[in-house]
Amino acid sequence: MKQFSYVVKDELGIHARPAGLLVKKAASFQSSVKISKGEKEADAKRILGLMGLAVKKGDTAVFTIEGPDEEEAAAALQQFMEENL
């Protein structure tokens, strides 16, 4: 299991466009990808769950990746967050 935290810097938080791209990126891996904010947790491969977290600027999103390609997935998702959010 790999885990990392990311503080969202985008003014709009995780809004529709980057959320869709994030879901696409997460879905490209076999590993399970979960994102949590506070007590809420969502599957990063499902846009409605991700949008339901309502992650705003300054919030910390915690990613938990578990599966056969977790190392690669964690690195790619962390890079995605830094470049897009």
Residues designated catalytic? 15
For 49-79, letters b (16+ CB in 10 Å) and e give: bbbebebeeeeebebbbeeeebeebbebbbe
